[in-house]
């Protein structure tokens, strides 16, 4: 494509550029882009002068679709936001609706949700670190990490009936209690994790190639990170100790003992290391939750919000009516609005919901960390080499489902 044509299609990138610079296009379908995203970069030699990032290739109208479903009907859609850690989305959404209604979930459910949130975070970070390593050519470490992730997915499949799109949460509880032997297998997997992650640390941490590719590439300062709205592991890698689990504790995090790992200078190596350390903290928290998991009911009583058990729906008229009302009209949420944020695997995952007092949401908005991160990604890419796009974008962990909604 010649320069004049590029100018006509993408005026923003060509504004101020000269005939000497080369404009190249990466994506939206490129093996190294780690998701459907388009990066238009202006190069001088191999140095990136400017980038223009386009997302939205996976836009499926989540927010519009949510307005056509009942409060319960939205749950399967939330799975598909960050599909590497669907349970965190589930719980954040349910927590927002419960806060607006004023429901207090049972202590067992609280601890179970905390445990599963951390378990999902573990799976998400494993995916992210594995992808960075694979894109840099470290196939062995990738296979080690993906093996554990697969154990986790199979294990969650045992609990929820799905490997990725769990739809496990219900407003006022969860779909079902833990199956027998689930916690025993959990401990087995955590030991597998420790075993394999030790190997990954040995393979990668002091590896010359890995350090050369990641140290001092994609550097981000704390000021820039806050200015561009970064949260989660990326903000923490710059040295800022901000974690919603500590700062505004939700679920059972106030009762747990854990550390907030931070980086030194916010480059790709720090982002890798912060994620590795966070996984260790997650494992520590999972063990605490499993130990403290209270006995008692998992769901709230009454069927104003919760679906009645299926056997009863077939046997008694009251349950049949409850079931019908909740499915057809949706649980009645009082009018008002509410914003709740959970610490997602990528950063602050917020839901802003508006109800007009009916069983169908008036509006649901997701504060998706990936979308905001993509909006600030050019800061990390500018001034770097073209080859640095790969590790930088890997450590950004942009998840298309969440970014494009």
User: Binding to another protein by residue 156, rule CB under 8 A?
Assistant: no
Q: Is 125 exposed, middle or buried (CB count within 10 Å of its CB: 0-12, 13-18, 19+)?
A: buried
Q: Is 64 in the site for another protein (CB under 8 A)?
A: yes
Q: How far is CA 371 from CA 14, 97, 121, 167, 390, in A?
A: 24, 23, 18, 23, 18
Does 35 interact with another protein (rule: CB under 8 A)? Answer: no
- Omega before 32 within 30 of 0, i.e. cis: no
The correct pick among 179, 297, 309, 336 for binding another protein (CB under 8 A) is 336
Q: Which is nearer to another protein, 13 or 146 (by Cβ)?
A: 13
348 is a site residue for another protein (CB under 8 A): yes
In angstroms, what CA-CA distances link 238 with 226, 263, 274, 345, 390? 10, 6, 10, 17, 19
* 3-class secondary-structure state, position 67: coil
Question: Of the two residues 100 and 123, which places its CB atom closer to another protein in the complex?
Answer: 100
Told to check if 334 binds another protein by CB under 8 A, we report no
The Cα angle at residue 349 between residues 152 and 307, in degrees rounded to 5? 70
Give the integer Cα–Cα distance in Å for 374 and 403: 8
198 binds another protein (CB under 8 A): no
- In angstroms, the CA 98 to CA 105 distance is 8
- CA dist 204 and 181 (Å) reads 34
Query: In the complex, what is the shortest distance from the CB of residue 65 to another protein, in angstroms, rounded to a whole number?
Result: 8
Instruction: Please identify, among the stretches 119-127, 193-201, 266-274, 369-377, the one whose residues bind another protein according to the rule CB under 8 A.
Output: 369-377
Report the candidate in 122, 62, 117 with the shortest Cα–Cα distance to residue 88.
117
Q: Which of 17, 38, 65, 280 binds another protein (CB under 8 A)?
A: 65
Q: Are 376 and 230 in contact (CB under 8 A)?
A: yes
Candidate list 354, 358, 360, 382; residue touching another protein; CB under 8 A: 354
Compute the least distance from the CB of residue 317 to another protein, in Å: 34
Q: Closer to another protein by CB, 103 or 286: give it.
A: 103
Among 37, 122, 159, 240, binds another protein (CB under 8 A): 240
Which residue lies nearer to another protein by CB, 247 or 316?
Answer: 247
Applying CB under 8 A, which part among 116-124, 258-266, 324-332, 366-374 lies near another protein? Answer: 366-374
400 binds another protein (CB under 8 A): no
CB nearer another protein, residue 284 or residue 378: 378
Q: Is 56 in the site for another protein (CB under 8 A)?
A: yes
Choice from 89, 231, 262, 288 touching another protein (CB under 8 A):
231
How far apart (Å, rounded) are the C-alpha atoms in residues 109 and 178? Answer: 11
- What's the CA gap between 210 and 251, in Å, rounded? 37
Nearer to another protein, 249 or 308 (CB): 249
Measured from the CB atom, the residue of 374 and 399 that comes closer to another protein is 374
Residue of 332, 362, 382, 386 that binds another protein (CB under 8 A): 362
Count of all residues that appear for the chain in the document: 405
Site size for another protein, by CB under 8 A?
A: 45
| Shortest spacing between CB 365 and another protein, in angstroms | 4
Q: Which residues contact 139 (CB under 8 A, 6 or more apart)?
A: none
Determine which residue in the list 248, 258, 280, 320 makes contact with another protein, applying CB under 8 A.
248
What DSSP designation does 136 have?
A: T
d(CA 84, CA 120): 8
List, as own/partner pairs, every contact residues 198-203 make where C-beta atoms lie below 8 angstroms and the sequence separation is at least 24, other chains included: 199/141, 199/144, 200/129, 200/133, 200/141, 200/144, 200/145, 200/276, 201/276, 203/138, 203/140, 203/141
Q: Is 227 an interacting residue with respect to another protein (CB under 8 A)?
A: yes
| 172, 173, 376, 401: residue in contact with another protein (rule CB under 8 A) | 376
Residue numbers of the site for another protein (CB under 8 A)?
A: 9, 12, 54-56, 59, 61, 63-65, 67-68, 99-100, 226-229, 231, 240, 242, 247-248, 336-341, 348, 350, 352, 354, 362-363, 365, 367, 371-372, 374-376, 379, 404-405
């Amino acid at each position: 494509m010649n320069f004049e044509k590029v100018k006509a299609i993408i005026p923003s990138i060509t504004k101020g550029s000269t005939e000497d610079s080369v404009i190249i296009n990466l994506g939206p379908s490129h093996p190294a882009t780690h998701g459907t995203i388009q990066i238009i970069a202006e190069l001088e030699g191999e140095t990136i002068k400017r980038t223009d990032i386009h997302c939205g290739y996976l836009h499926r109208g989540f927010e519009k679709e949510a307005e056509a479903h009942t409060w319960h009907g939205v749950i399967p859609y939330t799975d598909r936001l960050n599909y590497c850690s669907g349970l965190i989305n589930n719980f954040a959404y349910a927590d927002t609706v419960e806060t607006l209604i004023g429901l207090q979930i049972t202590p067992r459910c609280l601890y179970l949700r905390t445990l599963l949130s951390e378990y999902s975070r573990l799976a998400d970070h494993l995916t992210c670190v594995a992808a960075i390593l694979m894109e840099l050519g470290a196939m062995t470490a990738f296979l080690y990490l993906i093996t554990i992730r697969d154990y986790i997915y199979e294990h969650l499949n045992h609990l929820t009936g799905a490997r990725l799109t769990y739809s496990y949460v219900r407003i006022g509880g969860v779909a079902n209690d833990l199956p027998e032997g689930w916690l025993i297998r959990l401990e087995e997997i955590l030991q597998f994790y420790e075993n394999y992650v030790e190997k990954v640390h040995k393979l990668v941490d002091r590896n010359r190639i890995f350090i050369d590719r990641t140290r001092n590439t994609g550097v981000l300062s704390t000021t820039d990170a806050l200015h561009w709205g970064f949260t989660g592991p990326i903000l923490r890698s710059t040295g800022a100790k901000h974690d919603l689990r500590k700062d505004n504790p939700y679920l059972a995090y106030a009762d747990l003992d854990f550390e907030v790992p931070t980086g030194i200078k916010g480059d790709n190596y720090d982002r890798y290391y912060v994620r590795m350390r966070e996984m260790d903290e997650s494992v520590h928290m999972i063990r605490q939750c499993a130990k403290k998991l209270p006995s008692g009911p998992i769901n709230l009583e009454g069927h104003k919000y919760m679906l009645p058990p299926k056997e009863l729906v077939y046997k008694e008229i009251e349950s049949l009516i409850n079931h019908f009302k909740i499915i057809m009209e949706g649980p009645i949420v009082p009018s008002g609005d509410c914003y709740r944020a959970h610490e997602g695997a990528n950063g602050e995952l917020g839901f802003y919901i508006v109800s007009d007092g009916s069983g169908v949401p008036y509006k649901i908005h997701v504060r998706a960390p990936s979308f905001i991160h993509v909006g600030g990604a050019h800061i990390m890419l500018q001034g770097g080499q073209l080859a640095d796009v790969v590790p930088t974008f890997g450590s950004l962990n942009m998840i298309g489902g969440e970014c494009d909604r």
